[in-house]
């Protein structure tokens, strides 16, 4: 008996089982004892229902295997960082403080400060990894009826009008580089300002900054503060280790201390701490500059486009207000990985020039004029909608 492919085998299998049962009801097999009670051949039905299971499992494994492997491989940078941190904890606490140090007061002081920085470092790293990226709300998604209208329409100007009708009700100011509506054809939604589609996570992320392999997560509105604190506490962690280990590094190097096992850990600990400190210093400095200008990494590479054209300082409110945008007004929460950023990630205050403008698509006549002035593109070129395809 021929069977269909695995994804469609379940309906055909059910039909065959029902057909088998129907035939048995029409021509019941008499009971072996001759009691007249029909014999239901459950064994045959059970065997029939199991025939495709091995093939389905193998096919599913074959199809999903590469994706599962990629997902597992994406955690490799996080695993490397975790192993380095665990080793640094062992090397500092046991090999340096408990084995090398002889002064008990110095031991206690070193351990207390180290564990404070260690807890803050791990806490911020954890929050950066496991805080889910914030996605646009329901009102930015196209309804099923609008999706059907949009997909069935071949004329770009009509598609533009459909998007204009939807976006007119939304507080969006930014456009694409060619002046079109920022629409994600994969998520089927109008993108809020500063929202971008992540090709790795396969979702649109509010105020997306970048996708970071070291946290295996998108850094955006929901966890940008945590990411900044993670960089800051990583720097302090490495700086503290390097500063406190350096004296004993010199003693091991000059032969004043001779413990072979601890010597290796202390020497290597200083090298790793300095290496990570230098690397993180540039990254943290760059993000501090971005915060001072109220820009994301993506906006630093490509300035947001408004009605009057690109403006790299479109969201720059001044240093203090820019800082409050990320860390919030409650100063007691600034140094803790607790959500305190201003807003909801869908709308952001802009400079006075942008605030004086009406929201994008608020003037229907302007969009109608734009539609008349724009010449249609050739079929081989990108549509005037300029649908964004960002990574």
DSSP string, 141-188: BPPHHHHHHHHH---HHHHHHHHHHHHTTS----B-TTS---EETTTT
Two tokens at 106? Answer: 């110095």
Q: Supply φ then ψ for residue 211, to 5 degrees.
A: -100, 120
**Active-site residue, 212 included:** yes
Query: Among 249, 248, 238, 243, which Cα is nearest to 273's?
Result: 238
In the chain, what are the domain boundaries?
77-134+219-333
The residue whose two tokens read 């929201």 is: 359
Q: How far is CA 370 from the centre of its chain?
A: 35
Catalytic residue among 198, 204, 212, 354: 212
**Sequence-ordered list of residues with C-beta below 8 angstroms from that of 17, at least 6 positions apart, any chain:** 45, 48, 49
Q: Supply φ then ψ for residue 206, to 5 degrees.
A: -65, 135
In a structure prediction context, what are the per-residue pLDDT tens digits for the chain, which is 391 residues long? Answer: 444 444 444 443 444 444 444 444 444 444 444 444 444 443 443 344 334 434 445 565 566 667 778 888 999 999 999 999 999 999 999 999 999 898 999 999 999 999 999 999 999 999 999 999 999 999 999 989 888 898 888 888 888 888 888 888 899 999 988 888 999 999 999 999 999 999 999 999 999 999 999 999 999 999 999 999 999 999 999 999 999 999 988 988 888 877 777 888 989 999 999 999 999 999 999 999 999 999 999 999 999 999 888 999 999 999 999 999 999 999 999 999 999 999 999 999 998 444 555 455 444 434 433 433 333 334 333 333 344 444 4
Against a cut of 0.95, is the pTM above it? no
């Amino acid at each position: 008996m021929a069977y269909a492919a695995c994804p469609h085998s379940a309906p055909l299998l059910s039909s065959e089982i029902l057909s088998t049962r129907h035939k048995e009801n029409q021509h019941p097999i008499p009971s072996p004892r001759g009691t007249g009670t029909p014999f239901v051949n459950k064994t045959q039905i059970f065997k029939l229902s199991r025939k495709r299971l091995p093939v389905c499992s193998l096919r599913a494994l074959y199809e999903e295997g590469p994706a599962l492997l990629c997902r597992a491989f994406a955690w490799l940078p996080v695993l490397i960082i975790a192993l380095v941190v665990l080793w640094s904890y062992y090397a500092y606490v046991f090999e340096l403080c408990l084995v090398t140090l002889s002064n008990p007061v110095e031991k206690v002081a070193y351990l207390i400060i180290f564990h404070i920085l260690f807890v803050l470092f791990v806490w911020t790293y954890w929050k950066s990894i496991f805080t889910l990226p914030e996605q646009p709300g329901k009102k930015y998604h196209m309804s099923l009826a609008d999706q059907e209208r949009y997909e069935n329409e071949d004329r770009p100007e009509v598609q533009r009008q459909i998007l204009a009708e939807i976006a007119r009700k939304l507080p969006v100011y930014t456009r694409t580089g060619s002046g079109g509506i920022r629409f994600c054809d994969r998520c089927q939604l109008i993108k809020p300002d500063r929202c971008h589609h992540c090709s790795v996570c396969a979702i649109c992320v509010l105020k997306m900054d970048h996708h970071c392999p070291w946290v295996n997560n998108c850094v955006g509105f929901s966890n940008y503060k945590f990411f900044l604190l993670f960089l800051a506490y990583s720097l302090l962690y490495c700086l503290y280790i390097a500063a406190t280990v350096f004296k004993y590094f010199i003693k091991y190097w000059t032969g004043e201390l001779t413990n072979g096992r601890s010597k290796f850990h202390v020497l290597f600990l200083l090298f790793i701490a300095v290496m990570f400190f230098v690397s993180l210093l540039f990254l943290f400095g760059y993000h501090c500059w971005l915060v001072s200008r109220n820009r994301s990494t993506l906006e630093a590479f490509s300035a947001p486009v408004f009605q009057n054209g690109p403006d790299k300082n479109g969201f720059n409110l001044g240093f203090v207000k820019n800082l409050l945008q990320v860390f919030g007004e409650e100063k007691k929460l600034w140094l803790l990985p607790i959500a305190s950023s201003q807003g909801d990630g869908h709308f952001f205050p802009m400079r006075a020039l942008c605030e004086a403008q009406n929201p994008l698509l608020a003037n229907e006549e302007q969009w109608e004029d734009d539609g008349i002035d724009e010449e249609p593109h050739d079929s081989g070129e990108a549509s005037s909608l300029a649908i964004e395809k960002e990574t």
